[in-house]
Structure 1
């Protein structure tokens, strides 16, 4: 059990990296959503968001 525990943490590293990038991008998109809202309506007038 002592030999398997560090390998389990190594396998969780990509999950933590993905979660951090996903959470950071989610805040970034929410922050700039109102900026590009008019441009999205101009480029995609038929798109129902």
Structure 2
């Protein structure tokens, strides 16, 4: 999000989602510009895969 903001592009943060995905699964950490509740244990597995 920071890179998009600094790029000068017309960005609507309320439409932004962030999903982290790997062979271990996927975790949505942001929905419509806001952080979501997620399993930190699953996120760690996804990030270390």
Which category of TM-score, normalised to the shorter sequence, fits these structures?
Answer: under 0.3
Q: What is the TM-score when the length of structure 1 is the normalising length?
A: 0.20
Q: Could you say which structure has the greater relative contact order, defined with CA pairs below 8 angstroms and 6 or more residues apart? A: 2
Q: Which has the larger radius of gyration?
A: 1
Higher fraction of strand: 2
Higher fraction of helix: 1
